[in-house]
Structure 1
Amino acid sequence: MPDRNSGCLCGALKQEKKKKKKKKEEKEKNKKKKKKKKKKKKKKKKKKKKKKKKKKKKEKEKNLVDKSIDAL
C-alpha cells in the first residue's frame, strides 16, 4: 500500500501523456510544413531554370538572325 504522502499519480500521468501527444503532433505538423516548403522551393527553382533556358534560346535565335542579316 502506498504511503499517504505520495497520493494518486493518475492525474499527473494523464497530463504528461497529453503533453507528450501534443509535442508529437506539433513535431509532425512542423515536419509536413518543412516538406511543403521544400517542395515549393524546388518548384520555384525549376521555374527559374526554365525561364533562363527560354531566354538563352531567344538570344541564340536573335544572334543567328543578326548574323544572317550581316552576311547579306
Structure 2
Amino acid sequence: MRIGSSIGLIAIGLILALAVNIDVEGLDLDLIGWILAAVGVVGLLASLTLARRARPVVAPRAETYPPERDPRY
C-alpha cells in the first residue's frame, strides 16, 4: 500500500463514518468507515517507515590494486 492509497482509504473511511447517514440493512457503515480509516492510518505509517529505509547506501570508493604510482616520483 502506497501513501496515496492510504490517504484515500482514510478519506473514504472518514466520509463513511462521519458524513453518510444512510441506513443499510445488515451493514453498519459507521463501523466500516472507522475500520477503513484505521487501515489507512496503519498503511500510511508503514509506507512512511519503509520509504525512510529504502534510501540507497553509497559505499566508499574501492581502491585500485595494485596502487597506482604517482608520476611525480
| TM-score normalized with structure 2 length | 0.50
Residue 48 (structure 1) aligned with residue 61 (structure 2):
yes
Distance 1:52 1:25, change over 3 A: same
RMSD between aligned residues = 3.4
CA distance in structure 1 between the aligned counterparts of 2:66 and 2:31, rounded to whole angstroms: 65
Q: How many corresponding residue pairs?
A: 53
Which aligned segments of 4 or more residues in structure 1 are displaced greater than 2 angstroms?
A: 1-4, 51-56
In 2 relative to 1, CA 33–4 (structure 1 residues): closer, same or farther, beyond 3 Å?
Answer: closer
Sequence identity, in percent?
4
**Cα drift, residue 34 of structure 1:** 0.4
- Kindly provide the CA deviation profile for residues 48-71 of structure 1, in whole angstroms up to 9, marking residues without a partner as x: 34x239922xxx15x987xxxxxx
Give the TM-score normalised by the residue count of structure 1. Answer: 0.51
The answer to which structure has the higher helix fraction is 1
Partner Cα distance (2:27, 2:66) in 1: 74
- 1:30/1:4 Cα in 2 relative to 1: closer, same or farther (>3 Å)? closer
Q: Which runs of 5+ in 1 are unaligned?
A: 66-72
